Structure 1
Amino acid sequence: MKNHQFAIKPTSIKDEINELKMIHFLEPNDLNQQPRKLMLKLISRAFLEHQNAASNIKENIASLLATEDTNALEYLSKSNRPLNKIIFYNIALQLLRFKLTFDFKINQSQTFMKKSRLPIVNTSSDILSNQDVIKAWYLLLNTHTKFGQTYIDTIAAHGYYQQFNDLKKPLIFNGKTQPVFDTNQLIREVVYIEAPLDTDHDGKRDLLKADIVRPKESNQIKVPVLYTASPYNQGVNDQLSDQLTHQVNVKLKHKTPNHYQYQDIESHGNQSKNIPKPRKIKGESKYPTQSFSREMGYTLNNYFLSRGFAIVYAAGIGTKDSEGLRTTGDDLETISAKSIIEWLDNRRIAFTNKTDHIQVKAWWSNQHIAMTGRSYLGTLQTAVATTGVDGLKTCLSEAAISSWYDYYRDNGLVVAPGGFQGEDCDVLADETFSRFQKAGDYQHVKDQWKKQLDSITKHQDRLTGNYNQFWDARNYLKDVSHIKADIVMVHGLNDWNVKPRNVEHLWNALRNVPVQKKLFLHQGPHIYINNFQSLDFTDMMNLWLTNKLLDVDNDANQLIPDVTIQDNVKPQTWHTYQDWSNAKNALSLQIDNQFKLSDHQNGIKPMQFNDYLVPDIFNKYTKHYNKWYKDLMGNNDSPMSNNRLVFKTNPLKHDHYIDGKVHIKINAASSQNVGLLSFMLVDYGEATRLTHTPQLLSRNAIEAGYLWKRDDLKEFKLQKHPTPFKKITEGHINMQNRHNSYQVDELKPHQFYNVELDLQPTFYHLPAGRQLGLIVYASDMAMTIRGNQKIQYSIDPTKTIIHIPLWK
């Protein structure tokens, strides 16, 4: 195990004593106790779930070993020997749920802690004084257990804070909110917020359903709010979206050249100026009249419920029990999501139901709001943040789209989000149009919905794949300068659904925006990371939200690194940096110089490959992407050997890191008047690599609060068997869009053209001995359309250069 904790706030001994008194771990006379006696008292109080049975507490302490032949109860209560660090951490590691013999050896506790990166108290002597014990215990409470959460959170989940059951306000310990709120008496309410929209054209403003979960204590105090905008929250229509999914085995077609400039395709928004007047309020109620029994929860939200945060879930326009129509990512959906925040900030109207016009206010909200969630949920955070809406203090944006073109397209090509070939904006709109699930409601809007869906299908333009007004209306990067909320961005470097370009563009666009921004890059695909063993992500978000939503001065901006990146070679290893994808200099490697052709065409110039595959092989690849990937990156006798060019460097003499965007300059020709080029950067070398996804370490090991929700503990491990290669990154381009994604150029058969593109940005650790490979090919079975056309491609290696942001 390796532990990385950034959320421990350095604290003076005076403040440590005061905080320990505040949470009932210290009493006034404890300051004069002998160190051994003091530690015994502290451990006894940690076993508070046994507070009514002193014998149970003694039994539990006696079950801990202090030395090879003395248990903790005997050593601390009877021994006259001094208390030293070794004894303290022998006992402490067992409290942290590490096992003797299996995890560490007795009297080697400090060695294990250093190896595992667990924090050790800094003292002038190995013999602990009374004050040293206080400092060590305070640090121990903030130290991660074997199961990925702090010791104070662990004992809190076992009932420690039940002694605070009369507390009506947040409790802050080491700069973080504590789980002192009663999750067994949560209030669940439903309201209907009136948005300044009429997307279903019924002459009335759209009402949006919002599900609220808040602690009962919020009836006495105002609380901060976590808002998750999830179009999936009210259900999805998988069968409808499956029927609408587009055929991708279609031929690449020649596009009519144009001379477009950006102003020719710029969007100026879709919002109608003729918005119906607000409904007339016919009364007011303090409490909503509708409740619900179960929410579509998110584990990080659950964690903060026990810490006194209210949680709001809203699916938005066109979803079940709301009004309006789905629009997939444009400014109308942004206004829909923004309206929830405006109500929470007491600047918009909500009703108890959709018919009586009885107003209800968010009087329990402290008007400090954060948005949470991943993927579409994270995307709507970016969209709303770019409006500069008041009340939104921060976003925890995970795997978020920053421009929808970068999700469904790539350089003039129709490109799928990984794993969802044939999906597009219209498919996603139909999937999330959960109004369909209530037949009586759907009956009123089905004709409008058909028109809306047809319009999306038309304007998303799968025929050309060009950037146009439709996509420009879904590009949030244009409005990043309006952001006022602090932003936490989380993204997988192996996320081929929402590809890394989305977070890299947002990170770079925020450089000159005066907000706090933090970035986490992990080795996973499209996942959450709040249940990792090796990183205190949840603690950092506690520190962050306590600062942003409760205005606690806890050094969150300074303690949380600007950039935190998981290593792809060493398991459970994270590195911190000041920046990402901002390399001043890139290493330029030229084909036939540093990159050598490794296929069968050595000495042939220009070099050529085909796109066509015999039907049996083609059909197999369209159904088995893993087989295609393996053959694409594999040996010269692969069935793909005539459909690609593979270039490799010599084995590296030193470790190197790729930091950001790899830029390709290639001189290429197509045998027809159409052409697409795909590029894959590959790590070659037999090695045991990290698993593709985090592996289960312990089921239900992470506890969000007392008698409350649990989460599984996970972590990336090394694979059981070595593999010969791994994809680092990739990119695609239509040769007719060689200048940009909206300008179309002519492509004449057999004529060479200079083509440039950036691959998806990355951060990749290449160990010494590995080879860096570049594969040039055409159709991508998992990403692009697949025409299986008889096209031959040629490239001139003397005019092909790869710029790599590489450092040692």
Structure 2
Amino acid sequence: MRFDRPFARLTLALLVLAQAYTAMAQGTPVGPVFKDGEAQVVPAFEDSDTWIRHDLWVETDFDTDGDGKPDRMHVSVTRPAQTEEGLKLPIVYVTSPYFAGVAPDVPGLFWDVRHELGELAGERAHPEVDRRVERPVISNSHIKDWVPRGYIVVHSSSPGTGLSQGAPTVGGDNESLAPKAVIDWLCGRAKGYTSIDGQETVEAYWSTGKVGMTGTSYNGTLPLAAATTGVEGLEAIIPIAPNTSYYHYYRSNGLVRSPGGYLGEDIDVLYDFIHSGNEERRAYNNATVRDGELVPGMDRRTGDYNDFWAGRDYLNDMGPMKAALLMSHGFNDWNVMPEHSYRIYHAAREKGLPAQIYYHQFGHGGPPPMRMMNRWFTRYLHGVENGVEEEARAWIVRERDDPQNPTAYPDYPHPEAQPVTLYLQGGSPGRGMLSTDSKGPKVKEILIDNYSFDGAALAKAEITNHRLIYLSPELTEDIHLSGIPEITVRMSSNKAAANLSVWLVALPWEEGRRSRITDNIITRGWADPQNHRSLSESEPLKPGEFYTVRFPLQPDDQVIPAGQQIGLMIFSSDKEFTLQPAPGTALTVDLRGTQLTLPIVGGEAAWKAATR
């Protein structure tokens, strides 16, 4: 169905004609305008009072709410008036489970984390979302940026949210297939309807069939989900701080580990948080999806990797992907951690896809500069040969720079970064040393787990038996870290299970010469020693027996200034992230079998120059 309100059509037609005559008089076309490889704001597209806004439902090929009918996704469209007179434009598409509201933060929403490892907490609360819907507008996000520049902006609500049918599956297949169906409709391959259960169809006659997707956090995950289907017409995506693996979001190297700021959250909590869909299907969805699939599959008892988690890791689904990729992430994002973007960027580069990555030094969220996004969409949606694919692959905001002014690098990690292995020399309960000397004395040092001390307190403490810490000499020159540090810990426990947490810090803790946008935490990592052999199969620790646990820390790119010391801190329970068993577990670390590998630009020569 076309936009068929007669009076509105006449009014819009007259308005479009008036704008066209004005544009001809000024010698400018009524259509997209490009300058220096970027789409420019077009005055004829700029007046929001003239935009056409309408909604519809796109039919999918799945039924996740068990009503025996294909689920339909609620979609809204915002487009310039000129598209009603034959102008076709590409689409910027944003989809989300959040548009219709989320569950309240009630007591007991999150899992209780204060219990012994390997045990389960009691039942938690299940609040329901008070759905918020305004038709025909699903969201106003991104519209002011893209419609004036010659794009149509499309929004949709994810399955089981808002006025979309189905069930939220939090990373299940329907969350990839739902945006695929919308893109298929935009390209003329799927059916859209004027109502949720009617048969009157709607056509996207104003679409060029070129679609780009973007969004932040969960809204950034879904463009990647759509891209992994290989759907024709999805030309480019710009995921911002996307969750690319639910295992990496809720677990870490076998350890049950919460996302920063949401202690006790797990995948079933997120399901309750977003489930704003049809009240009549909630009981069915809760029984089949939340209680029948998510809770048993997530295995909160062991934290092991399994088929459930593998099915929610988009790295495993990238085979069909062909969309051009511009990733964005913050190195200090402890909610959706920076590994999420790097792992997908790296895989895209290996596949030969056009790919760039933008990293800043802030926390969660943060899009690339508008210029970068504009050039990306201009190239791949409008087909303007602006050379963006020949530009630098990595753009990193240096510590004191404006996020709008990133520094270009050939790639990330920095091509000149080389691994430098550092060894530990004892000092417990005070501070030991980090050096490249591998011939230190045979020393074993002990720490006692106590979750009541947070990581910052442990790092600042001169003396404490609740952590081990090893410092470099005070730097005489800046050190540029770029890449993924790796830690190897040779350790034993006096219990069958223990948390293992590692922070890389810059001391002294006071800000001093540190940047206003980078705190004293360089990077972090966590692991379950019970998974020292296998991520998918844990085994109880034998008290007193030593095990080697090796795992990567989070990616980083940071310049540690002269005058600081780089510190490796090893402790057990991390108050902000891990389960919190009763204090008292003793970990013994064999320093001769423990080492830290840092990716340093300039390698060992740079390290020696800065620590002499």
TM-score range, shorter chain: 0.7 to 0.9
Is 1:360 the counterpart of 2:183? The answer is no
Deviation at 1:529, TM superposition (A): 3.6
Relative distance call for 1:167 and 1:585 in structure 2 (3 A) is: closer
Of residues 689, 712, 727 in structure 1, which corresponds to 2:514?
689
Which sections of structure 2, spanning at least 5 residues, go unmatched?
1-21, 121-132, 434-440, 603-612
Instruction: State whether structure 2 residue 449 is matched by structure 1 residue 611.
Output: yes
Bigger strand share: 2
CA distance in 2, matches of 1:580, 1:601: 32
**Match for residue 247 of structure 1 among 94, 105, 112:** 112
Extract unaligned runs of 5+ from structure 1.
Answer: 1-159, 256-289, 436-440, 531-536, 622-627, 694-724
- SS of the residue 2:551 aligns to: strand
Taking a change above 3 Å as real, the CA distance of residues 691 and 768 of structure 1, as seen in their structure-2 partners, is closer
Q: CA–CA distance in 1 between the matches of 2:81 and 2:242?
A: 33
Q: Is the 8 A contact 1:525 1:692 kept in 2?
A: no
Which runs of structure 2 are paired with 1:548-563 in the superposition (5 Å)?
548-558=380-390, 560-563=391-394
Alignment map for 1:195-344 (pairs within 5 Å): 195-219=60-84, 220-239=86-105, 243-253=108-118, 292=135, 294-298=137-141, 300-344=142-186
Q: Which amino acid letter does the alignment assign opposite residue 762 of structure 1?
A: D
Among 566, 576, 580, the alignment partner of 2:412 is 580
Q: How far apart, in 1, do the equivalents of 2:213 and 2:235 lie?
A: 9
- Contact 1:189–1:291 (8 Å) recurs in 2: no
Cα deviation, residue 692, structure 1: 4.5
Tell whether the 8 Å contact from 1:665 to 1:800 is kept in structure 2 after alignment.
yes
Task: Give the CA RMSD over aligned residues.
Answer: 2.5
The partner residue of 2:288 within 448, 451, 457 is 451
Distance in structure 2 (CA, Å) of the matches to 1:423 and 1:190: 34
Are 1:346 and 2:188 counterparts?
yes
Residue in structure 1 matched with residue 458 of structure 2 by the alignment: 632
Q: Are the equivalent residues in 1 in contact too, given 2:66–2:284 (CA < 8 A)?
A: no
CA contact (8 A) 1:608 1:795 kept: yes
8 A Cα contact 2:487 2:550, kept in partner: yes
Three-state SS of the structure 2 residue aligned to 1:306 is helix
Q: Which residue in the other structure is 2:579 paired with?
A: 785
User: Aligned partners of 1:398 and 1:381: how far apart in 2?
Assistant: 10
How far has the Cα of 1:597 moved from its partner? Answer: 5.9
Mapping 1:724-803, distance limit 5 Å: 726-803=520-597
CA distance in 2, matches of 1:581, 1:231: 33
Counterpart AA for 2:320: H
Match of 1:442 among 279, 298, 301: 279
Letter in 1 for 2:514: R
Question: Which amino acid in structure 2 is aligned with residue 197 of structure 1?
Answer: F
Bigger share in helix: 1
Alignment counterpart, residue 375 of structure 1, candidates 206, 217, 221: 217
1:656/1:688 CA distance change after superposition, 3 Å: closer
Match of 1:564 in 2: 395
Q: CA deviation at 1:675?
A: 1.6
Contact preservation (8 Å) 1:381, 1:397: yes
For residue 443 of structure 1, what is the amino acid of its counterpart?
E
Distance in 1 (CA, whole Å) between partners of 2:456 and 2:418 is 33
Cα separation, partners in 2 of 1:798 and 1:161, compared to 1, 3 Å: farther
Q: Give yes or no for contact 2:55–2:136 (8 Å, CA) kept in 1.
A: no
Taking the aligned partners of 2:218 and 2:418, their CA distance within structure 1 comes to: 35
> Quick check: 1:590 aligned with 2:416?
no
Match of 2:300, SS?
coil
Counterpart in the other structure of 1:175: 37
Q: Which residue identity does 2:39 align to in structure 1?
A: T
In the TM superposition, residue 444 of structure 1 has moved relative to its aligned partner by: 4.3
Write the distance in 1 (CA, Å) between the matches of 2:144 and 2:177.
26
**2:371 corresponds to:** 539
Partners of 2:595 and 2:23 in 1: how far apart?
62
Fraction of identical pairs, as percent: 31
Deviation track 1:171-218 (CA, whole Å, cap 9, x = no partner) reads 122222221113321111111000111001111000110111111111
Cα distance in 2 between the residues matched to 1:601 and 1:578: 37
Tell me, what secondary structure is at the counterpart of 2:318?
Answer: helix
Q: Tell me by how many angstroms 1:747 deviates.
A: 1.1
Distance in 1 (CA, whole Å) between partners of 2:27 and 2:493 is 73
CA offsets 1:551-571 (integer angstroms, 9 cap, x no match): 11222222x421011112566
* Aligned partners of 1:161 and 1:179 also within 8 Å: no
Alignment of 1:88-107 (within 5 A): none
Q: Which amino acid aligns with 1:642?
A: N
Q: Distance in 2 between matches of 1:463 and 1:648?
A: 35
In structure 2, distance between residues paired with 1:556 and 1:504: 20
Q: Partner letter of residue 252 of structure 1?
A: L
Q: Secondary structure at the match of 1:238?
A: coil
Aligned length: 553
SS at structure 2 position matched to 1:668: strand
8 Å CA contact 1:251–1:789 kept in 2: the answer is no
Tell me the equivalent position of 2:234: 392
1:514 shift after superposition: 2.4
Q: SS at the partner of 1:422?
A: coil
Quote the Cα distance in structure 1 between the aligned partners of 2:534 and 2:144. 44
C-alpha distance in 2, partners of 1:801/1:600?
Answer: 16
For 1:176 and 1:209, locate their aligned partners in 2 and report how far apart those are by CA, in whole Å: 31
2:322 partner amino acid: K
CA distance in 1, matches of 2:286, 2:134: 29
2:465 equivalent to 1:677: no
CA contact (8 A) 1:657 1:764 kept: yes
What CA deviation, in whole Å up to 9, does each residue of 1:721-778 have, x standing for no partner? xxxx700111111110012321223410011111111111111111222211000001
Letter in 1 for 2:382: L
Measure, in 2, the Cα distance between the counterparts of 1:691 and 1:411: 31
Structure 1 residue 790 displacement after superposition = 1.9
- The equivalent position to 2:310 in structure 1, one of 463, 472, 492, is 472
Question: Residues 408 and 178 from structure 1, CA distance in 2 versus in 1: closer, same or farther, beyond 3 angstroms?
Answer: same
Q: Does the 8 Å contact 2:186/2:209 carry over to 1?
A: yes
Q: What are the equivalent positions in structure 2 for 1:26-175 lying under 5 Å apart?
A: 167-175=29-37
Offset at 1:450? 3.1
Shift in Å, 1:582: 6.8
The match for 1:661 among 471, 476, 484 is 484
Q: Please list the CA deviations of residues 149-178 of structure 1 after superposition, one character each: whole Å capped at 9, or x if unmatched.
A: xxxxxxxxxxx9998698431112222222
Find the structure with the greater CA-based Rg. Answer: 1
Structure 1 distance, partners of 2:401, 2:65, is 53
Q: Residue 421 of structure 1 aligns to a residue in which SS? A: coil
Provide the secondary structure at the position in 1 that maps to 2:149.
coil
Among 342, 345, 350, the residue aligned to 1:504: 342
